[in-house]
RNA sequence: GGGGACGUAGCUCAGUUGGUUAGAGCGCUGCCCUGUCACGGCAGAGGUCGCGGGUUCGAGCCCCGUCGUCCCCGCCA
């Protein structure tokens, strides 16, 4: 194939920007051939670049040379077109195309590069095989849907940067090669050649650096930072991901909230959606009670406490533990389920936590007609709504703390609530087509960018951000019998709970908060400890010796002693924000070069073995076995 | 670490109870076609049924193992 030289030809327009206003103009456009329609003496090319697609016309009579060349053109060839923009006849206008009012009449066609037949076509809408998409990511990224996501991500990041800068935050970079941080995930390690046997760690987050920046007096810091965690993946979890990380001095919790609400609203605005602020707030305990989760999806009905409906003898008959919550889960508009359907739904219920599912309300109604009527009333259930009951199983005792302290939820109660909460989500997902609660969000995303009058889509119907506050400070580890920090150990407890740190750790609330939206955790943060004496107390209550604390975070403890201001902050997942606004079901759709569920990059084939020489230089050796 | 789904032509998939030469649509190649825009018409090429082993007269189909992709639990802010 004879290729043409570019010469000094300059592109004058992008494909998508051409419209009626360009009619009559001489233009030069360049791009990829999306499709070719060959009518013999008349050939149409759809030329694609980032901005869109425009139709190119080659008439044998008008441009015999270019027409002859176009016969050999195939999809994904890279071509340059010199021609004249022409208004289409009324009959040949294509209303489905942004540039459908015009077309480019060719003077000269240059074939700049040919292309092998791609394994899949960027011109197709429905693309299946994800393995192939990841291997040939450069082709996948040619698809307009993927380019939309990449562009959306750019716009969101830009809006957030601008917003935070306006709020007085400085963008400051922190090292990627650092030492293991105290967070709980596994580190990605980088061996040091200069210090044989020693390793850097890639940061799980810039946590300690940003706190140090506050100690340094930089007042307000932010960074759109890459974070690395060597843990198993999910649809919403990649081993490297991007956080909008920020920290500020002298904040109240509410100060952080206002800052975040402002930039999240700015991000949504950039995506064409108006998100009302401030966001509502809920305590952790209340969130667990009402939604069975610390990341509530408020598009669905809340859990309903129906314990009072049943007498203690009723509960005994039902073999339900009377000391645990009895909860109704409602899923709207599901309709009546057959025995077979109910059986199929049982795997959605997680009984391991000592919870019991009562899914046959009809049968229950025969034994307890009044109680069931009351349950329906309390749940506000319409006749076509699905209603099931989750309660504690009296026949199985789960291993968990049962002590009720300071009015907070016990571990066993949390187990029942979360069992009901996950069933709530699973059933809602399964019957999404019937109740439509999720499709409202999908529609909002599709219409984002505004209506014909340029008004933004109202996000209040489709997006439900919520602050979850007052998380417990500690979790009980059943295996070790130890109290573990629920978060990193620099999270400040509530000042009024401070005196119970040692005597009654489970009742201590952390000044820790999450931002959740539509069942997804967008991010979390806390007000930090800034006093050495408090920090020491926390380590004590964790059973950590002074030596151990010094060994793990000596540099940081020392920094605390040199005039540390009260400070706090948060980190939000940029990938997840973009995922929501792109209407994507997986982070892979909004990351240009993502990894598979087994943390492999299929395009570059990473990770890979390295040479013996490299290993030697690092003084590393593969272990046999 | 555990559970589940999937793997058949370049792609998306069908393939009956284990039975002759494994099919369709799209794509691809060639020819024809001056208003298409998922163009159309005619003809054609294209298969290690993921891989390895087993059962059987006979395996795409059954069994065991293994690899890969996806989803979930554990793990992880």
pLDDT in tens, A127-143: 778 999 999 999 999 99
Decide if A133 contacts A127 (C-beta within 8 A). yes
Positions 556-595 of A with beta carbon below 7 A from strand B are: 571, 586, 588
DSSP secondary structure letters along A234-245? BTTB-SEEEEEE
| pTM higher than 0.80 | yes
Do A362 and A400 meet the contact criterion of CB atoms below 8 Å apart?
A: no
CA/C1' separation A128–B49 (Å): 20
A332: Cβ contacts below 8 Å, ≥ 6 apart: A301, A382, A384, A385, A386, A434, A435, A437
Sheet holding A567-573, edge to edge: A170-171, A220-228, A240-249, A567-573, A520-527, A512-517, A465-469, A281-283
- Region A457-483: what's the mean pLDDT? 84
Question: Among all strands, which nt has the closest C1' to A524 (CA)?
Answer: B77
pLDDT digits over A587-619, tens only?
999 999 999 999 999 999 999 999 999 999 999
pLDDT computed for residue A404 by the predictor: 53
Query: Among all strands, which nt has the closest C1' to A353 (CA)?
Result: B73
Q: A529: closest CA among A581, A567, A500? A: A567
Range from A262-271, A305-314, A331-340 carrying the lowest mean pLDDT: A331-340
Stated length of chain A: 625
pLDDT value, residue A350? 78
With beta carbons less than 8 A apart as the criterion, state whether A525 and A490 touch: no
Q: What is the mean pLDDT of residues A208-225?
A: 97
Q: How far apart are CA A601 and CA A604, in angstroms?
A: 6
Helix, strand, coil distribution of chain A in percent, nearest 5 = 35, 25, 40
Nearest Cα to Cα of residue A35 among A62, A14, A56? A56
DSSP string, A26-61: EEEEEEEEEEEEE-SSEEEEEEEETTEEEEEEEETT
Do the bridges between strand A273-274 and strand A457-458 make them parallel or antiparallel, or are there none, so unpaired? parallel
Closest residue to B12 (CA to C1') is A128
Domains and CATH numbers, chain A: 15-113 (2.40.50.140), 300-435 (3.30.1360.30)
Interatomic distance A123 CA / B47 C1' (Å): 26
Spacing of C-alpha A205 from chain mean position: 16
The pLDDT value recorded for residue A239 is 96
Positive or negative, the CA dihedral A128, A134, A138, A141 is positive
- Residue A601 Cβ under 7 A from any strand B atom: no
Instruction: Determine the average pLDDT of the residues in A3-32.
Output: 96
Query: Among A426, A296, A411, A423, which residue's Cα sits nearest to residue A351?
Result: A423
- Length A604 CA → B51 C1' (Å): 23
Q: Is the CB of A625 under 7 A from strand B?
A: no
Task: Calculate mean pLDDT across residues A430-435.
Answer: 88
Q: Quick check: helix, strand or coil at residue A129?
A: coil
Where residue A181 falls among pLDDT bands split at 50, 70, 90?
A: low
Query: Which helix (H) or strand (E) covers residue A138, if one does?
Result: helix A137-140
**Quick one: pLDDT at residue A478?**
60
Cα(A356)–Cα(A354) distance, integer angstroms: 7
pLDDT in tens, A80-106: 999 999 999 999 999 999 999 999 999
Q: Is A523 helix (H, G, I), strand (E, B) or coil?
A: strand
Distance CA A238, CA A600 (A): 10
How far from chain centre, in Å, is Cα A491? 24
What DSSP assignment string belongs to A419-430?
Answer: HHHHHHHHHHHH
Distance CA A529, CA A256 (A): 15
Please, what sign has the CA dihedral across residues A467, A472, A478, A480? positive
A121 CB less than 7 Å from any atom of strand B: yes
User: Could you tell me whether strands A326-331 and A386-392 are parallel, antiparallel, or unpaired per DSSP bridges?
Assistant: antiparallel
Please, which pLDDT band fits residue A623 given cuts at 50, 70 and 90? confident
| Average pLDDT estimate for A13-24 | 96
Mean pLDDT of A221-245: 96
pLDDT for position A74: 96
The pLDDT value recorded for residue A598 is: 94
Task: Judge if the beta carbon of A245 is closer than 7 A to nucleic acid strand B.
Answer: no
pLDDT tens per residue across span A384-424: 999 999 999 888 766 555 555 555 788 888 889 999 999 99
What are φ and ψ of residue A406, in 5° steps? 50, 35
Helix-helix angle A574-582:A439-447, to 10 degrees = 90
* A135 strand B contact, CB < 7 Å: no
d(CA A439, CA A428): 12
Question: Distance (Å, rounded) from C-alpha A355 to C-alpha A416?
Answer: 6
The DSSP secondary structure of A323-340, one letter per residue, reads: TS-EEEEEETT--PPPHH
Handedness of CA A505, A506, A509, A512 (dihedral sign): positive
Q: What are phi and psi of A417, to 5 degrees?
A: -60, -40
Task: Give one word for A102, left, alpha or beta, with left for phi > 0 and alpha for psi -120 to 50.
Answer: beta
Confidence check: pLDDT of A307 > 80: yes
Lowest mean pLDDT among A186-190, A228-232, A430-434, A508-512: A430-434
User: Does A215 sit behind a cis peptide bond, omega within 30 degrees of 0 on the bond before it?
Assistant: no
Which among A101-115, A178-192, A351-365, A470-484 has the top mean pLDDT? A101-115
pLDDT value of position A403: 58
Q: Burial level of A360, CB count in 10 A (0-12/13-18/19+)? A: middle
Nucleotides of B strand lying within 7 Å of any protein CB atom: 1, 10-13, 26-29, 32-40, 68-77
Lowest mean pLDDT among A91-100, A213-222, A252-261, A549-558: A549-558
Cβ of A486 near strand B (distance < 7 A): yes
Cα diameter, chain A:
93
Peptide bond into A278 cis (omega under 30): yes
């Amino acid at each position: 194939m004879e290729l043409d030289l570019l010469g000094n030809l300059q592109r004058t327009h992008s494909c998508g920007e051409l419209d009626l206003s360009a009619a009559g103009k001489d233009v030069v456009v360049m791009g990829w051939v999306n499709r070719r329609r060959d009518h013999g003496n008349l050939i149409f090319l759809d030329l694609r670049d980032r901005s869109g697609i425009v139709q190119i016309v080659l008439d044998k009579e008008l441009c015999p040379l270019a027409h002859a060349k176009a016969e050999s053109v195939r999809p994904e060839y890279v071509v340059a077109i010199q021609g004249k923009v022409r208004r289409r006849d009324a009959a040949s206008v294509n209303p489905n195309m942004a540039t459908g009012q015009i077309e480019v009449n060719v003077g000269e066609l240059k074939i700049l590069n040919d292309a092998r037949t791609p394994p899949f076509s960027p011109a197709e809408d429905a693309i299946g095989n994800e393995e192939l998409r990841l291997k040939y990511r450069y082709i996948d990224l040619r698809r307009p849907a993927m380019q939309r996501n990449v562009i959306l991500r750019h716009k969101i990041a830009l809006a957030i940067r601008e917003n935070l800068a306006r709020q007085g935050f400085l963008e400051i970079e922190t090292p990627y090669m650092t030492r293991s941080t105290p967070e709980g995930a596994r580190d990605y390690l980088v061996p040091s050649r200069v210090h044989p046997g020693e390793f850097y760690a890639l940061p799980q987050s810039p946590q300690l650096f940003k706190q140090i920046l506050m100690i340094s007096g930089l007042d307000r810091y932010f960074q759109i930072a890459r974070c690395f965690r060597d843990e198993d993946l999910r649809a919403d979890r990649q081993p490297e991901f991007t956080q909008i990380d920020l920290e500020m001095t002298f904040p109240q919790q509410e100060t952080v909230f206002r800052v975040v609400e402002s930039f999240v609203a700015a991000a949504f605005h950039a995506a064409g959606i108006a998100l009302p602020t401030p966001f509502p707030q809920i305590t952790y305990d209340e969130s667990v009670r009402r939604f069975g989760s610390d990341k509530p999806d408020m598009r669905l009905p809340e859990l309903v406490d129906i314990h009072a409906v049943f007498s203690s003898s009723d509960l005994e008959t039902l073999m339900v533990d009377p000391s645990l919550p009895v909860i109704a889960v409602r899923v709207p508009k599901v309709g009546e389920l057959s025995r077979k359907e109910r059986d199929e739904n049982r795997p959605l219920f997680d009984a391991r936590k000592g919870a019991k599912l009562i899914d046959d309300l009809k049968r229950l109604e025969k034994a307890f007609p009044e109680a069931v009527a009351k349950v329906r009333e309390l749940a506000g259930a319409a006749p076509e709504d699905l209603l099931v009951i989750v309660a504690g199983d009296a026949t199985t005792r789960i291993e968990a703390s049962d002590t009720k302290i300071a009015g907070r939820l016990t571990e066993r109660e949390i187990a029942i609530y979360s069992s009901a909460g996950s069933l709530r989500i699973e059933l809602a997902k399964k019957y999404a087509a019937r109740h439509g609660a999720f499709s409202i969000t999908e529609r909002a995303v599709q219409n984002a960018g505004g209506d014909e009058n340029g008004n933004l889509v109202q996000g209040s119907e489709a997006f439900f951000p919520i602050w979850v506050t007052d998380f417990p400070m500690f979790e009980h580890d059943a295996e070790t019998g130890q109290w573990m920090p629920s978060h990193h150990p620099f999270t400040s407890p509530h000042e009024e709970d401070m005196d119970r740190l040692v005597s009654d750790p489970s009742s201590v609330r952390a000044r820790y908060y999450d931002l959740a939206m539509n069942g997804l955790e967008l991010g979390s943060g806390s007000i930090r400890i800034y006093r050495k004496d408090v920090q020491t107390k926390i380590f004590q209550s964790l059973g950590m010796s002074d030596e151990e604390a010094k060994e793990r975070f000596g540099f940081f403890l020392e920094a605390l002693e040199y005039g540390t201001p009260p400070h706090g902050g948060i980190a939000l997942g940029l990938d997840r924000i973009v995922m929501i606004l792109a209407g994507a079901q997986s982070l892979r759709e909004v990351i240009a070069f993502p990894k598979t569920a087994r943390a492999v990059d299929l395009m570059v084939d990473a990770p890979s073995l390295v040479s013996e020489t490299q290993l030697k230089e690092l003084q590393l050796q593969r272990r046999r076995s």
